[in-house]
Amino acid sequence: MTDRNLDKEESYIPLLDGANYTEWHLRMRFLLRSRDLLDVCENSVGQDASTTAVNRWKKLSFEAITLITSRINQRVFLEVVKPETSDKANLLWSCINKHYASKRNMNKGRVWMNWQKLKYNSNLQSYIDSTRRFLLDLQSFSVQLPPKILSYIILGKLGNDPSLSQVIEMITLNDSLIEKPDQVLLRLQEYANLQCAKSIEKHSSSVSALVASSEHQYKITHYCSNGLHNPKCTTHRKEDCYAENPHLRPSKQSNKRKIRESPAAAKLVTARALITSTISQSNPSNQIVIDCGATHHMFYSKDIFCSLSNVEKFSIATGDSSSKLLAKGIGSVVVMVGPRRLTLTDCLYVPKLNCNLVSLMQLFRNKLTIIKSSNTFSLRTDDVVLFEGEITNNLMKINFSQPTSLLTTTVDDLWHKRLGHPGKVPVRSMGLPYDYSSCKTCDLNKIHQLPFKNQFEHASLPHECVHLDLVILISPPSAGGSRYFLTIIDQFTSYKITRMLKNKSDTFDQFVLFEDLSASCGFTHIFSPPYTPQHNGFAERANRTILDKAKCLLNESGLAKQYWAEEINTSTLLTNLIPTPSRQNLSPYALWTSKSLHIKKLRVFGCQAITLIPKNLRDWKLAQSGQEGVFLGYKNDIIDGEGELVDEAQSPSSEAQEEVDEFRVSDALVEAPSTEEAVDEASSLSVTEEPAPPAPPRLQVIGPRHPTLVSCDIDQSNILPFPRRPETFFSSACTTPRTFKEATSSPDHEVWLNAISKELKSMADLNVWEVVDIDPSYKLVGTMWVFKIKKDHLGKVIDHKVCLCAQGFTQTFGVDFEKTYSPTGRLNSLCVLIAFATTNRLLFHQIDVKSAFLNAPLLETVFLSIPQGVNLDRRKVCLRLKKAIYGLKQAPLAWYQRLKDWLVKVGFFSCTLDPCVFFWSSPSALWLYVHVNDIAIFGKEVETFKAEISSEFDIKDLGKADLMLGIKVTQAEDCVTLDQQHFAEALLDLYGMSNCRPVSTPLVPNQHLSSATDKELSAFLSLGVNYRSAIGSVNYLSTTTRPDLSHALTIVFVVYSRYHLVLVTIIVVSHLSSTLRYLLFYSL
């Protein structure tokens, strides 16, 4: 039995919802027995069974569980599927039977209540089928009722239908029938069959549209031919036969004259001409004609269909018996009639039809009512108006419009898009439909020159010949910062691998390793001459294939250009999945892995997607379980669609992409002019003069808008606040892993694993948690690993830090946390202490408390799920926290309170104005500045305090302060300087202004800025440029080590988001290039 037949069998089994248990149970037993799975469901494996028998039983058990759970609804699934029944089919089957088949009063009551709800809805056959199911339920659950009472109940529900009164009376008067409900249903079935036979009408094999009344349509006509009279012909005598007497045949002109002389014939010709003229001359595409002779809805425009499947040789008979129309597809049409959106199913696509037709007979199936006034009409069903139109030339016409979100997508087009726009031959070799002439996206993106002749010898084994090529600089950078990609192709299998690179130099070390590998394995490394890509034709052809698909994906999806890396990766995967005619129609993936990969889960790149939000990431019980997104490919070349819903007919609009790109300000600022040029340009922006056109921003240009628009909003939680954006941009350039999997699979995995081990050891030493068994009442808080590469002011890596964080957003106020506020040190306090220490020649040292939060005891009870890397069964046990960890809402407060209690205990006093500044007077004066776990020490006996605090906490002595809160500290004998040159250089490099012309002042002297006009503001907004990040970064500098920028920023904020902000921001940022070495100086 084929898989298709098995799927067909499963489709006949209804979803178990509790009310249909009896029917579901019988059908499921039949299916399980046909697949040899019933024994697994009813019996368990023996204790003395062999290992082979146990493994076979487990395999069959999982198959049975999969089959059973696929035919139950969600409510039943949650009731019967439990940890103990999820891996044993016999327990699951027994649980279902016990829950729904037991003869408890609850089940009996449920069956009886459902029986009482059954009503007759004018469909006798449906009523008979439902009644038989309920009788079976009554018998299964031992609901005892006298048979005669059941019969009267069955007939009593039919009493409101006058057409059944005679049948009911005949059954009631027959004592032998009324005593047996089965016999009552049998007689009702016979009556239903009789009525069905009377209502069946003979239809021709072709669909009729505008069919004229023709009783002679099925009459056999005998013709005379070959100069002989046909004896079977009864329309004329032999002596009048035109075949034997051609001279008797009248001319065509005389025939026309006779027709005109006949009044009836003249009227018929006039009516046909009128209809033809009316339809052919007045047939706008947004108009529908209601036709009482059409058996199907018919439309002649392919663009109006929302779904369309091709059909072959589907003929349509018209009123003209000599001509027929052909339908080339069938599908659904969505039309807008006024404010109403209507969906018409089973509509025929007839290209040569003169007008759109809606079948009146199809509409009558929904109890349609026609209301006509003078020249208008309306079609209603259940007091709801479906159509309204006017009557013109005796034709009922309706005006409609096409919804803006409608997209014509046939089955052929859909697979063509899913597979990345392949050619005709590989698609047909996969057994998929391919029946369309051309694809505009392919035509625009795959046009190329003719190939050069092949000069490579054929490979006979995988890995025998491997081709490599580095694709040149791609601009703009990808979302991950890549600008190049390396292509690796195996010649025998044609399997392709692409790797994204941020810099061209990234490949040097890999090429050196590859060279050593080639030499050790006896490989011959052949180089192609420079500037002759024809010598590396195999790799160039692979690049063209990948890029052609990527261009199609980009232009079809309408996504922004920075997603080219995702398009390249998806294009490579799809290329490996498509069969190659030169390799016996086997795909490169199959040849490379000796496995086949199903393509059922392929989806159209760039379409709208809804992904599942894990339960531990939802902040509310009734929060939505999914979030909208865009489908950007497949993870690690693995096609996995679990937990995802996609709408392949829709993709995000350009506006949505622009909102996302608004916060990507890389390369946003153009090169600043010199001081003189800046003055000239600024002076042109006065109130009375026309402003100069702004320089075009070097920003990503969004691709053309997709014809289908999706209204989507950006989640505000995914938008970084202004103060965090500069830090995020700078840290994004590092190769810091974001997940546990990335860290353990990165080139520095040994370093990260060592750091993880140290973090876990610290937690064990500090007795942070204890392992307890999971209880259903516990609210578990999720965990995640956070990785950070710590660098000095020169950008040199000094440490790899790992921190286990709790997902505090899953905590609930009043349950596992209450107070959360924790004070942090003010920057002004630090500056005052530095100035005071410099004046009094005090030492300025710095220490770092290791795993600070792990030293703070918790007052609340918090349960934690098992983190990755901890070898415990997360299904059975969890962690009860004794002390705080990073990520908990109350963790900063708990650590501050722990540190403050100890400092007070050893003799420190807290400052009234700044609770993070502490003073110690004995044995010598000492001041502390606390910023979470970083502590700055000012005094003469700092070593005494270090020894004291090291006895309580595990600290890292950093000696003289060198880098405090991102500020470089330089200490001399009689002075201290603070600067952030590294931050300013990174800021200039981020906006592509490292080599800009320096500007001596942050503002142009004597410049008067006025508010922009509406026209100027519209022109500025049309650029799509966002300068918020640049202004935020400079504002951070002004609050730390560059107070000289404060006045300029005040002016910027006055004209914030106005047209002149472009020029002002360029000048302010350019001023940094000439003042990089500016610093704060403290001296005696």
Question: What confidence category does residue 226 fall into, taking pLDDT thresholds of 50, 70 and 90?
Answer: low
Predicted local distance difference test score (pLDDT) of residue 917: 92
CA dist., res. 492 & res. 594, Å (int):
13
For the residues of 352-404, what is the DSSP string, one character each? Answer: T-SSEEEEHHHHGGG--EEEE-SSEEEEEETTEEEEEEEEETTEEEEE-B--T
Query: Which is higher by pLDDT, 264 or 97?
Result: 97
- Name, in order, each residue with C-beta under 8 angstroms of 649's C-beta and a sequence gap of 6 or more: 306, 407, 409, 607, 708
Question: What confidence category does residue 929 fall into, taking pLDDT thresholds of 50, 70 and 90?
Answer: very high
Question: What confidence category does residue 1059 fall into, taking pLDDT thresholds of 50, 70 and 90?
Answer: very low
CA dist., res. 211 & res. 318, Å (int):
5
**CA nearest neighbour of 440 among 288, 514, 551, 331:** 551
Predicted local distance difference test score (pLDDT) of residue 382: 64
Q: What is the pLDDT of residues 991-1008, one digit of tens each?
A: 667 777 777 777 777 766
End-to-end CA distance of the chain: 94
81-90, 136-145, 218-227, 721-730: range with lowest mean pLDDT: 721-730
3-state secondary structure of 613: coil
Predicted local distance difference test score (pLDDT) of residue 1010: 65
CA angle (722, 725, 729) in 5-degree steps = 165
Is the pLDDT assigned to residue 22 strictly greater than 50? Answer: yes
Query: Which is higher by pLDDT, 823 or 996?
Result: 823
Q: Note the pTM of the prediction, 2 decimals.
A: 0.37
Predicted local distance difference test score (pLDDT) of residue 10: 57
Question: What confidence category does residue 906 fall into, taking pLDDT thresholds of 50, 70 and 90?
Answer: confident
CA dist., res. 514 & res. 933, Å (int):
45
Mean pLDDT of the region 1003-1031: 65
CA angle (602, 606, 610) in 5-degree steps = 75
Is the pLDDT assigned to residue 279 strictly greater than 50? Answer: no
Query: Which is higher by pLDDT, 240 or 824?
Result: 824
Which of 441-450, 524-533, 560-569, 933-942 is predicted most confidently? 933-942
Angle subtended by helix axes 1046-1054 and 1028-1040, to nearest 10:
150
Chain length of the chain: 1084
Residue type (1 letter), 648: E
| Tally of CB atoms within 10 A around 525 | 11
Q: What is the pLDDT of residues 690-700, one digit of tens each?
A: 333 343 333 33
**Residues 420, 426, 430, 435: what is their CA dihedral angle, to the nearest 10 degrees?**
80
Question: What confidence category does residue 404 fall into, taking pLDDT thresholds of 50, 70 and 90?
Answer: very low
Question: What confidence category does residue 17 fall into, taking pLDDT thresholds of 50, 70 and 90?
Answer: confident
Is the pLDDT assigned to residue 313 strictly greater than 80? Answer: no
Query: Which is higher by pLDDT, 840 or 792?
Result: 840
Predicted local distance difference test score (pLDDT) of residue 604: 82
3-state secondary structure of 566: helix
Mean pLDDT of the region 796-825: 84
Percent of the chain with pLDDT over 90: 2
Is the pLDDT assigned to residue 656 strictly greater than 60? Answer: no
Predicted local distance difference test score (pLDDT) of residue 23: 76
Residue type (1 letter), 303: D
Question: What confidence category does residue 936 fall into, taking pLDDT thresholds of 50, 70 and 90?
Answer: very high
CA dist., res. 768 & res. 881, Å (int):
6
Q: What are phi and psi of 607, to 5 degrees?
A: -80, 170
Residue type (1 letter), 973: E
Query: Which is higher by pLDDT, 516 or 825?
Result: 825
Predicted local distance difference test score (pLDDT) of residue 2: 40
Helix (H) or strand (E) holding 315: strand 305-317
Q: How much of the chain is in helix, strand and coil states, percent to nearest 5?
A: 40, 20, 40
Q: What is the pLDDT of residues 355-375, one digit of tens each?
A: 888 888 887 776 677 887 777
Rg of the Cα atoms in the chain: 40
Predicted local distance difference test score (pLDDT) of residue 207: 37
Q: What is the pLDDT of residues 714-731, one digit of tens each?
A: 444 445 544 444 444 444
Q: What are phi and psi of 802, to 5 degrees?
A: -130, 140
25-29, 257-261, 542-546, 1007-1011: range with lowest mean pLDDT: 257-261
User: Which residues on neighbouring strands pair with residue 879, listed in sequence order?
Assistant: 771, 864
Q: What are phi and psi of 929, to 5 degrees?
A: -120, 120
Mean pLDDT of the region 1079-1084: 82
**CA nearest neighbour of 64 among 42, 95, 80, 40:** 40
For tokens 């989806």, what's the residue? 603
The answer to whether the peptide bond before residue 476 is cis (omega within 30 degrees of 0) is: yes
Q: What are phi and psi of 975, to 5 degrees?
A: -160, 165
Which domains can be identified in the chain, with CATH numbers? 3-101 (no CATH), 106-199 (no CATH), 265-399 (2.40.70), 411-610 (3.30.420.10), 675-696+979-1083 (no CATH), 740-965 (no CATH)
**CA nearest neighbour of 982 among 993, 968, 994:** 968
3-state secondary structure of 171: helix
578-587, 761-770, 901-910: range with lowest mean pLDDT: 578-587
Query: Which is higher by pLDDT, 445 or 178?
Result: 178
Cβ(379)–Cβ(386) below 8 Å: yes
Task: Look up residue 821 and give its DSSP letter.
Answer: -
Mean pLDDT of the region 794-812: 84
Cβ(486)–Cβ(470) below 8 Å: yes
**Positive/negative CA dihedral, 181, 182, 188, 192:** positive
Q: What are phi and psi of 765, to 5 degrees?
A: -65, -35
CA dist., res. 1043 & res. 1061, Å (int):
20
- Name, in order, each residue with C-beta under 8 angstroms of 264's C-beta and a sequence gap of 6 or more: none
Question: What confidence category does residue 59 fall into, taking pLDDT thresholds of 50, 70 and 90?
Answer: confident
Predicted local distance difference test score (pLDDT) of residue 938: 92
Pairing of strands 384-392, 376-381: antiparallel
Predicted local distance difference test score (pLDDT) of residue 698: 33
Cβ(489)–Cβ(539) below 8 Å: yes
Query: Distances from the Cα of 333 to the Cαs of 308, 560, 906, in angstroms?
Result: 9, 31, 81
Query: Distances from the Cα of 141 to the Cαs of 97, 103, 144, 184, in angstroms?
Result: 12, 5, 9, 22
For tokens 């006058």, what's the residue? 162
Predicted local distance difference test score (pLDDT) of residue 930: 92
Alpha-carbon 292 to chain mean position:
44
Is the pLDDT assigned to residue 52 strictly greater than 80? Answer: yes
Question: What confidence category does residue 269 fall into, taking pLDDT thresholds of 50, 70 and 90?
Answer: very low
Predicted local distance difference test score (pLDDT) of residue 9: 52
For tokens 């340009």, what's the residue? 681
- Name, in order, each residue with C-beta under 8 angstroms of 61's C-beta and a sequence gap of 6 or more: 40, 87, 88, 89, 90
Is the pLDDT assigned to residue 705 strictly greater than 70? Answer: no
Q: What is the pLDDT of residues 126-162, one digit of tens each?
A: 788 878 877 777 776 667 778 878 888 888 878 777 7
Mean pLDDT of the region 966-970: 86
Predicted local distance difference test score (pLDDT) of residue 432: 62
User: Which residues on neighbouring strands pair with residue 785, listed in sequence order?
Assistant: 804
The answer to whether the peptide bond before residue 923 is cis (omega within 30 degrees of 0) is: yes
Residue type (1 letter), 633: G
CA dist., res. 548 & res. 447, Å (int):
9
101-105, 271-275, 405-409: range with lowest mean pLDDT: 271-275
| Tally of CB atoms within 10 A around 1064 | 26
Q: How many CA atoms lie within 13 A of 655 on its CB side?
A: 7
Cβ(168)–Cβ(127) below 8 Å: no
- Name, in order, each residue with C-beta under 8 angstroms of 228's C-beta and a sequence gap of 6 or more: 243, 244
Q: How many CA atoms lie within 13 A of 520 on its CB side?
A: 6
**Mean pLDDT over each residue of the chain, to the nearest integer:** 73
CA angle (1071, 1072, 1076) in 5-degree steps = 135
Q: What is the pLDDT of residues 458-515, one digit of tens each?
A: 777 787 888 888 887 677 888 878 888 888 888 888 888 888 888 777 666 667 777 7
Q: What is the pLDDT of residues 1033-1047, one digit of tens each?
A: 888 888 888 888 888
| Tally of CB atoms within 10 A around 852 | 23
Q: What is the pLDDT of residues 542-551, one digit of tens each?
A: 888 888 888 8
Mean pLDDT of the region 830-846: 88
Helices and strands, counts by H and E, the chain: 35, 33
Is the pLDDT assigned to residue 953 strictly greater than 80? Answer: yes
155-164, 876-885, 952-961: range with lowest mean pLDDT: 155-164
Is the pLDDT assigned to residue 327 strictly greater than 80? Answer: yes
